[in-house]
A = this chain, B = another copy of it.
Amino acid sequence: MKCSAKGVCAAKGFTANGIHAGIRDQDPARKDLALIYSEQPGTAACVYTTNKVKGAPIQVTKAHLKNGTAQAIVVNSGNANTCNADGIEIAEAMCDSAAHALDIDPEKMMIASTGVIGQPLPLGPITANMAKLTAGLDQDGHTDAAQAIMTTDTHPKEYAVTFELDGKPCALGGMAKGSGMIHPNMATMLSFVTTDVNISAAMLTEALHEVCADTYNMIYIDGDTSTNDTFGVLANGMAGNACITEKNEDYQIFKKALYEVAMHLSKMLAKDGEGATKLLTCKVTGGASVKDAKAIAMSVVSSTLLKCAIFGEDANWGRILCAIGYADAKVDIDQVDVDLISAGGDVAVCRDGHGIPFSEDKALEVLKQDEITVSVVLHDGTGQAEAWGCDMTYDYVKINGEYRT
């Protein structure tokens, strides 16, 4: 499996574009409207937010994906089109506008919006710029598209891999945006993956859910679950492999490719969490079960106090024990070992649930790095898990105190 730089355009038949339409503001440097298009329609699947308040675009995409097929994805940033009385009409009109410009059935459109909640989404800038958006569709447009879906992200996020299936060269690539509200169950996270693999809608849905559980659902920024999260995959089959219709070897290869892309995008999202300066990874081994290991890993990366300590480069490991202790998991707390690991080294801070002497200088050397791993070794079983988060900083507060106004 090889890495590709072409994001959502890595797979055959896909083009993309991202432009400034003026939804959010008049700064022409700020793109806010993205389009991904496949030459041929394909199978499609989506995972959505678990919030009871669901953005209008989610309701529209759900309806359009009932038959499991799609051909294009339109996304705007700057406005979530959520909690608006006319939200669904606006989302449908946005799909109609794109479908008309692409000359496809509006039901083949997937749609997503991200940004402020409860302010009417102006349709004017979108319809006025649709011809420009579609005219600019290009195999090199993947980064423009990734930029156009950003809200408070500091950089676009893309990742793609190439591999073989059934003797045919295949590609799978994606883009994602965060960066607050990443938990639980994906929160204000948008991620779109394209692939030329030939796979049934049922198997695509299955792979999507399995991968999501180990990637986007294992990242934490601030505990808020947004109203608009969408993780969508569009597979146009143009690689020409024998269609994957059951959980065979090809399915496992496909799932591995999807995992690789989603995992790398997840880590990028965590590292670029609002105001973050460090990626915080928690690796748990020896858990009573995978479920217990996952609960503990998520509890550790979710601890606001630990997130502050990581920002302060303070080896306050007691906060790690504390987070393990309140996780909803089976654990023998008197057999917990904790190490702090980074490019700066490895420092053991806790054995058998008790603190052990360690060098503060060494610990600082470890914590000064920008990617920190908390290793938690339990003695309860063979469950393993990994979760990703980030530090809590002054800038997080600044960004979220000022966001709307």
Contacts and interface: CB of A to CB of B under 8 A. Distances in A.
A314 interface: yes
B117 A319 contact: yes
Given A319-B117, A401-B311, A83 B350 contact: yes
Contact of A318 (B83, B180, B355, B398): B83
A303 B225 CA distance: 9
Contacts of A101: none
Residue from the set A325, A394, A396 with the largest chain B CB neighbour count within 10 Å: A325
Contact of A403 (B226, B316, B325, B405): B316
Interface in A346-399: 350, 353-355, 360, 392-394, 396-399
Contact of A350 (B118, B305, B318, B398): B118
A21 to B, nearest CB: 22
B353 A83 contact: yes
A138 to B, nearest CB: 35
A321 interface: yes
Interface in A173-206: 180-181
Contacts of A309: 400-401, 403-404
A405 B314 contact: yes
Contacts of A236: none
A53 interface: yes
Contacts of A118: 317-318, 321, 350, 354-355
A68 to B, nearest CB: 27
Contacts of A223: 223, 302-304
Contacts of A318: 80, 82-83, 116-118, 227, 404
Given A51-B322, A85-B354, A322-B53, A305 B224 contact: yes
Contacts of A117: 318-319, 321-322
A109 to B, nearest CB: 25
Residue from the set A181, A222, A305 with the largest chain B CB neighbour count within 10 Å: A305
Contact of A314 (B302, B326, B353, B401): B401
Contact of A326 (B50, B116, B303, B397): B50
Interface string A224-237: 11110000000000
Interface string A93-118: 00000000000000000000000111
A272 to B, nearest CB: 17
Given A117-B318, A355-B118, A51 B84 contact: no
Interface string A295-307: 0000000111100
Contacts of A80: 318
Contacts of A402: 312, 314
A212 interface: no
B401 A325 contact: no
20 contacts: A52-B333, A53-B324, A53-B325, A83-B318, A84-B354, A118-B317, A118-B318, A118-B321, A181-B305, A223-B303, A224-B326, A226-B322, A227-B325, A308-B400, A309-B403, A311-B401, A314-B403, A316-B403, A318-B404, A392-B400
What 7 A-B pairs are tightest by C-beta distance, nearest first?
Answer: A117-B318, A312-B401, A308-B400, A53-B325, A118-B355, A225-B326, A52-B325
